[in-house]
Amino acid sequence: MNSLKIGISGVRGVVGETFTPELAVGFAQAFGTYLDSGRMLVCRDTRSSGPMVRSAVLSGLLAAGCEVTDLGVCPTPSLQLAVPWLGAVGGISITAGHNPEPWNALKFVRADGLYLNPTQADELLDIFHQAEYAKATWERIPSRIDERDAVTHHLEALARAFDVEAVRARRPKVAVDCCNSSCALLSPRWLERLGCEVLAVNDDPTAPFPHTPEPRRQAMTQLRALVLAGRADVGFAHDADGERLGIVTEAGEILSEEATLPLAAEIELRRTPGTVVTNVSTSGALERVAARHGSSVVRTPVGQAFISEAMIETRAVLGGEGSGGVVVPRVQLTHDSAAAVGLFLEHFARTGERVSELAARLPRLSMLKHDAPVEPNRIHSLLQRLHEELEREGDVYDQTDGIKITCPDGWVHVRVSNTESLIRVIAEADTTARAQELLDWARDRLGK
């Protein structure tokens, strides 16, 4: 079931099973070939497989004639900011993000710091499958690898984007869970720069992940305890590579990862009404928040590349996904959990509003999620069977990404995961009972 996943979010798999050194070398050579060599940045998270994968990636890039700069352990958004800063043609982040520690992945970044779009990802995949790579001759292979500090550069960009002095004047007490990964090198420093009293947990990048590196409720119980014991004003949870953010209120309420983007929208749209971009799986609470502020929501397929491209097209004021990812354009056009932290703390400092008060303003909807493991060779046939059944019944549905059916009192979305061998089923309605009905309806038709 732990099949290799190749798609819009890069290439990922379980190390020692489908994700191998040979695979990493091949994709690194393919990426170097695709970008016609040039300077390439590399970073990783703290998974135990990271040094092995890093060595393979460096070998592939050097073999293709790339000039390589190693950023070491650092968040993916730090690399993305560093690519244009250092004049690189692209970068590879070695991280499986929210996936458990046995997984690892390569995420491919282009010259403007954004992920490859679908067309570019397909072109890279063609080069990989053809295995016709650029091969530097012995005298043209770079003999050294530079090292640079992308985290400090990221901190400077964050400090320019937010009202640091306003936060300093309030001196909030902030609890943070860094999941013993790359954000341990960024988030506490960012909070200290903001003048916060910092209560950090799981901030040792040499230690294993203390829990699944995904900021969902079940992974934030330790953070909740820290918030309550330390009487913190807010708690923040990071994933393994600094893209997703979970929130715990000062009262100890663990908010759903689906709440992060609507909360950010409530803040940003008060200041600057405009367009918010998200995917078709994200909570409909976002439309209700946007409507309060005379704003609109544009929806895309699931994947950061789609969000970034749509934000550029629509000149959006905010973007993100229901995973806890938030895009703050004044920092960069990709998910950045440290930027989201800045957005929240700046708002709380300027307004005096508590996190629980802001959360109370969100529409009360019920969302249920189900992940159905499916053998890779059966995934698309199951979805096709559902499509044919809906066609026979004459149902109207959205095919932006998988199949989404909207009813007057809710919706259900069925799609293939970008990151695992799963079919994801998400249902949302005004009541939990109705959301469960919609979820069960979809599961029954899938036999899952």
Q: Is 299 exposed, middle or buried (0-12, 13-18, 19+ CB in 10 A)?
A: buried
Comparing CA positions, the residue from 77, 107, 126, 104 lying closest to residue 8 is 107
Q: What is the pLDDT of residue 420?
A: 79
Q: What is the pLDDT of residue 3?
A: 63
Question: What is the 8-class DSSP label of residue 244?
Answer: B
| pLDDT per residue of the chain (448 residues) written in tens, 0 to 9 | 446 788 777 899 999 999 999 999 999 999 999 999 899 999 999 999 999 999 999 999 999 999 999 999 999 999 999 999 999 999 999 999 999 999 999 999 999 999 999 999 999 999 999 999 999 999 999 989 999 999 999 999 999 999 999 999 999 999 999 999 999 999 999 999 999 999 999 999 999 999 999 999 999 999 999 999 999 999 999 999 999 999 999 999 999 999 999 999 999 999 999 999 999 999 999 999 999 999 999 999 999 999 999 999 999 999 999 999 999 999 999 999 999 999 999 999 999 999 999 999 999 999 999 998 888 778 888 888 888 888 888 888 899 999 999 999 999 999 988 877 889 999 999 999 999 999 999 999 888 6
Q: What is the pLDDT of residue 155?
A: 98
Pairing of strands 318-320, 275-279: parallel
Cβ neighbors of 38 (< 8 A, separation 6 or more) are: 66, 67, 88, 89, 90
Distance of CA 360 to the CA centre of its chain: 25
pTM reported for the whole predicted model: 0.94
Residue where the block lists tokens 């090292």: 147
